[in-house]
Amino acid sequence: MNAEEQNRMIELGQRLVTFDFIERYYGMRLETRHNLFQDFKGWCERNGIRKAAEANSVSRSAWESYLQAFTALPMKWAAVQFGMTDELLIEVLSKLPKESPRNHRIWEGLVIGDLKRDFFELLPDMKHKLFRNHHALCQRLHESIANTLQVHVQGRELFCETSEIMGKPIFANDFDSVTLKALSLPHQLWLNFGKPLNLPPDRVSKLFYVQNREELRRYLMTSREPEGLEEYEAHIQGGKT
């Protein structure tokens, strides 16, 4: 674990995080004069959340609670849920049929509402389809985007970096909370840095956990050592990482 990752672990355990952390972690800028920050403060006041914001810093739990309350995600986080970069998602959203009703909207860098439903309703190749897993969904979605919207997708996908290292790339749907690298559900563990349980858990790559077990073990969501880590241990012992 490098110095930047060690420092991020400290930040994850703190009640308040800086605006700089917000930019690095969520991929968006906050400033005290921005409409978004003022709306966040107002929401916290209305909901009795005290000390949610101080000088150039916010409560991470309050911030994520605010996003959850409005079914909102930063563009970076919305994009990874579909295995794509935020740059690609921005272009895709600009090409969706403007005359059709929308279940999502964009405001101050947030994607608010049900974007997945819009993809299924507005892209013909996605209608009435069921998918066996997230990877299959992303494959069909990317093909539909390229064919229907004429958007260049190749090279702008977002794959789970752990899956690539392990030799079987699959599309990402999250980010590693410590390394900030793209991550998928099969290759992640959940960490407890003190956030309320009603919020999405912090996540870490299973491979990164095995590499840094001593530093990370006490932050696991459970007291028991996770099962199914043998392939990651073998990978490290084989000197492939």
End-to-end CA separation in angstroms for the chain = 14
Provide the pLDDT for residue 130. 79
What is the CB neighbour count within 10 angstroms for residue 127? Answer: 11
**What's phi and psi for 81, nearest 5 deg?**
-65, -15
Q: How many CA atoms lie within 13 A of 169 on its CB side?
A: 10
Lookup: tokens for 110: 């947030």
Q: pTM here?
A: 0.90
Taking the C-alpha atoms of residue 79 and residue 86, their distance in angstroms, rounded to an integer, is 5
Burial of 98 (0-12, 13-18, 19+ CB in 10 A): exposed
**pLDDT per residue as tens digits for the range 40-56:** 999 999 999 988 988 88
| 194-223 as b/e: b if 16+ CB within 10 A | ebeeeeebbbbbbbbbbbbeeebeebbeee
Q: Which residues contact 35 (CB under 8 A, 6 or more apart)?
A: 108
Q: What does each of the 241 residues of the chain score in pLDDT, given as a tens digit?
A: 899 999 999 999 999 999 999 999 999 988 888 899 999 999 999 999 988 988 889 999 999 999 999 999 999 999 999 999 999 999 999 998 877 778 889 999 999 999 998 989 888 888 777 788 999 999 999 999 999 999 999 999 999 999 999 999 999 999 999 999 999 999 999 999 999 999 999 999 999 999 999 999 999 988 888 888 999 999 988 865 5
**Residue by residue, what is the 3-state secondary structure of the chain?**
CCHHHHHHHHHHCCCEEEHHHHHHHHCCCCCCCCHHHHHHHHHHHHCCCCCCEECCEEEHHHHHHHHHHCCEEEHHHHHHCCCECHHHHHHHHHHCCCCCCCCEEEECCEEEECHHHHHHHHCHHHCCCCCCCHHHHHHHHHHHHHHHCCCCCCCCECECHHHHHCCCCCECCEECCCCCCEECHHHEEEECCCCCCCCCCEEEEHHHHHHCHHHHHHHECCCCCCCCCHHHHHHHHCCCC
Sorted by where each begins, the domain ranges of the chain are 3-69, 73-148, 161-237
